[in-house]
C-alpha cells in the first residue's frame, strides 16, 4: 500500500540496524543489490530523506553512481537468508537474483525493487559525500572500521519520493 513515509509503523533504528535492508540500483537491463545496515531516515531540506553509506568497492556503488536514485527494501524475517547472501556475495561474481529467488520489479521512477519486500522506499539522490579520515572527531570508528585496506564509505542523502508499507 502506498503510504506516507512519516507514518511507517516500524522503529527506524531497529528496522535498519537489525532487520537490515537491500539497497538496489540500476536499470531493467542491468541492476544490482546489496545488504546494508548503516544509514538512517529523517527530515532535511524540508524533505523526507534517507541516508545510506556505501563503500566504493561495492558493485552496487557503480549503479548508485550511474543512476538518479535507488530503492531501499525491507523484508520479513523469513528472507534473512536472502539478505545474508546479498551481504556476502558480490553481483560481480554471481547472479544474486537467481540465487535468492527474489522477484525484481521497477517502480514508477524506474528503480529496481522486490515484490517480496514489506516496505519499499523509492529514493532520489540529493547529495553525495565521501567520508574523509581528517573529518573524524573521534578516532574510534576510524580505527575500528577503516583500519584495513578499503575505501571509506560514501554517504548518499536521498529524498523518499514514494513509500509502500503498512502505516499507522
Ligand X SMILES: Cc1cc2nc3c(=O)[nH]c(=O)nc-3n(C[C@H](O)[C@H](O)[C@H](O)COP(=O)(O)O)c2cc1C
**Which residues sit at the interface with ligand X, rule CB under 6 A?**
20, 32, 34-38, 53-55, 58-60, 87-92, 153
Residue 168 CB contacts under 8 Å (≥ 6 apart), including other chains:
7, 8, 9
Q: How many residues does the chain have?
A: 168
Question: Closer to ligand X at the Cβ: 37 or 167?
Answer: 37
Comparison of 65 and 116: residue with beta carbon closer to ligand X? 65
- Decide whether 3 or 37 has the Cβ nearer to ligand X: 37
Using CB atoms within 10 Å of the CB of residue 98, give its burial: 0 to 12 exposed, 13 to 18 middle, 19+ buried. Answer: exposed
Taking the complex as a whole, the smallest distance from the CB of residue 4 to ligand X amounts, in Å, to 25
> Minimal distance in Å, beta carbon 120 to ligand X?
18
Residue 4 near residue 160 (C-beta atoms within 8 A): no
Q: How far is the CB of 88 from ligand X (least distance, A)?
A: 6
Amino acid at each position: 500500500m502506498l503510504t506516507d513515509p512519516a507514518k511507517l509503523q516500524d522503529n527506524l533504528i531497529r528496522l535498519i540496524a537489525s532487520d537490515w535492508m537491500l539497497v538496489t540500483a540500476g536499470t531493467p537491463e542491468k541492476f544490482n543489490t546489496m545488504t546494508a545496515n548503516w544509514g538512517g531516515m529523517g527530515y532535511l531540506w524540508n524533505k523526507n530523506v534517507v541516508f545510506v553509506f556505501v563503500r566504493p568497492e561495492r558493485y552496487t556503488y557503480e549503479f548508485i553512481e550511474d543512476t538518479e536514485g535507488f530503492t531501499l527494501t525491507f523484508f520479513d524475517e523469513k528472507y534473512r537468508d536472502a539478505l545474508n547472501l546479498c551481504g556476502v556475495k558480490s553481483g560481480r561474481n554471481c547472479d544474486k537474483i537467481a540465487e535468492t529467488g527474489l522477484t525484481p520489479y521497477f517502480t514508477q521512477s524506474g528503480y529496481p525493487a522486490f515484490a517480496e519486500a514489506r516496505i519499499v522506499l523509492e529514493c532520489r539522490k540529493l547529495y553525495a559525500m565521501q567520508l574523509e579520515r581528517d573529518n573524524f572527531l573521534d578516532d574510534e570508528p576510524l580505527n575500528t572500521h577503516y583500519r584495513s585496506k578499503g575505501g571509506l564509505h560514501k554517504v548518499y542523502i536521498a529524498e523518499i519520493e514514494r513509500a509502500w508499507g503498512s502505516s499507522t
